Amino acid sequence: MTMWVFGYGSLLWNPGFEVAEQAVATLHGWHRSFCMSSIHHRGTEAHPGLVLALDAAAQGQCHGLALRVAPGTEEAALKELRARELVSSAYLEKTLPVALADGRDVTAVTYVIDRDHVQYVNLSLEEQAQVIATAVGGRGPNTDYLHNTARHLAELGIQDAELDWLSQRVEKLSA
């Protein structure tokens, strides 16, 4: 069985599994947002950082990458994804329809925020920038996560005005 994963944050530049194919894709009904407090990967319990999550938005859409898992490695990929993405149960694992840029429609394993989880936050862009500029976690500085994601989206030709603004604002705050 073919397995696809939808990447919209660190999965763009660090999938952690063998990718057989990738395609720019759109997920409808969701919005990419720094709405998850990170106490493991990009922050600590004492000084939480922020990571991207998909937040439900009726008219929203998120452009990212559909990553087809290499055949025969699906079980290992899912195990790795769950260990990484479900570390604190703030993400919910869903299988959602995504539209590939080449016209194909596939279903993809997708990690979305649980709005009822304690790590769900709703901060202004300025508040997000203030957090991201100083937080550091087990996988490194929160700034690296932001800048890597913004750079990879730009390389893919994907526009994200909020991430572009945040990247520029965090640069100024970190200078």
pLDDT digits (tens, 9 = 90+) for 65-83: 999 999 999 999 999 999 9
Reported as type and span, the H/E element at residue 107 is strand 105-113
Top-confidence residue, 175 or 25: 25
Alpha-carbon distance of 73 to 93, in angstroms, equals 18
Burial of 80 (C-beta count, 10 Å sphere; 0-12/13-18/19+)? middle
pLDDT of residue 76: 97
Question: Binning pLDDT at 50, 70 and 90, where does residue 145 land?
Answer: very high
Instruction: List, for residues 29-73, the tens digit of each pLDDT value.
Output: 999 999 999 988 899 999 999 999 999 999 999 999 999 999 999
Alpha-carbon distance of 32 to 52, in angstroms, equals 6
pLDDT of residue 103: 97
pTM: 0.92
Q: Tell me: pLDDT of 96 over 90.
A: yes
Considering the chain, what is the average pLDDT of its residues?
A: 95
Integer-rounded Cα Rg, in Å, for the chain is 15
Residues with catalytic roles: 85
Alpha-carbon distance of 29 to 60, in angstroms, equals 5
φ and ψ at residue 37, rounded to 5 degrees: -70, 130
Averaged pLDDT, 139-167: 95
Q: How many domains does the chain have?
A: 1
Give the C-alpha distances (Å, rounded to integers) separating 103 from 43, 56, 81.
38, 24, 26
Which residues span the domain enclosing 131?
A: 4-174
pLDDT of residue 140: 92
CATH of the domain at 29: 3.10.490.10
Give the C-alpha distances (Å, rounded to integers) separating 137 from 46, 51, 115.
10, 11, 22
**With contact defined as beta carbons under 8 Å apart, do 85 and 38 qualify?**
no
With pLDDT > 90 as the criterion, what percentage of the chain qualifies? 91
